[in-house]
Chains A and B, each alone.
Chain A
Amino acid sequence: DIQMTQSPSFVSASVGDTVTITCRASQDINNYLAWFQQKPGKAPKLLLYGASGLQGGVPSRFRGGGLGTEFTLIIDSLQPEDFATYYCQQINSFLPNTFGGGTKVEIK
């Protein structure tokens, strides 16, 4: 199966900071990547689709990019409601839709 490796697994940040999360695929997935946010006790929520497409209703401080095997999620000006765990997922329907291991963003 395809492997999705996220880094870091944990980040401590303050309100107003910019946070960058990286996701690496074990093989070329073009731009078939999604980013999710999950808060404790809740189902995940889609943030970005196709590596950089912002899902409706998601604030523009969430930005995504990348192609092939390297992808990034950038959160500009971190807000209190952004403290959560973030996951990337490979979304090419011809391959297993593997998730990355997750990145927990905590308040410093």
Chain B
Amino acid sequence: EGQLVESGGGLVKPGGSLRLSCAASGFTFNNAWMHWVRQAPGKGLEWIGHIKSKANGGTTEYAAPVKGRFTISRDDSKSTLYLQINNLKTEDTAIYYCSTLGRTDIWGQGTTVTVSS
């Protein structure tokens, strides 16, 4: 059974940077399109972006609010997905989930990012 485990969250000052990781196991990671989704405290789900499989070009797409500050990447040799967040803002405070979305519907447990001075 597929599993995703996020890490890298924490308390960061505004303007700082953070790299989140998502370790995959139990499924063929290199074939999967991978997504990041976040949820601010007490708020709904927000799709951040995705990265296609290398076989589909490995390209990325982002939601408009995060374009330019967020970068999704993958290392298929390590079955790991990454999310680089630069110039963090207080409104980036959220639980960050990685997921396969789609019919495979595998989600991590989430990692919490808190942006505060």
Contacts and interface: CB of A to CB of B under 8 A. Distances in A.
Q: Do the two chains bind?
A: yes
A38 B101 CA distance: 14
23 contacts: A34-B101, A36-B45, A43-B99, A43-B108, A43-B109, A46-B103, A49-B102, A49-B103, A55-B105, A85-B44, A87-B44, A89-B45, A91-B102, A96-B62, A97-B35, A97-B47, A98-B63, A99-B37, A99-B44, A99-B45, A100-B44, A101-B44, A102-B45
B54 to A, nearest CB: 16
A45 B44 contact: no
Contact of A1 (B44, B64, B101): B64
Interface in B69-115: 97, 99, 101-103, 105, 107-110
Chain A contact surface mostly: loop
Contacts of B35: 97
A55 B47 contact: no
Interface residues of B, number: 22
A89 B102 CA distance: 11
Interface string A51-94: 00001000000000000000000000000000001010101010
A43 B97 contact: yes
Interface string A11-49: 000000000000000000000001010100001111001
Interface of A: 1, 34, 36, 38, 43-46, 49, 55, 85, 87, 89, 91, 93, 96-102
B33 interface: yes
Interface in B1-59: 33, 35, 37, 44-47, 50
Contacts of A89: 45, 47, 101
B94 to A, nearest CB: 13
Given A34-B101, A46-B103, A97-B35, 4 more contacts: A43-B97, A45-B107, A89-B47, A91-B101
A59 to B, nearest CB: 16
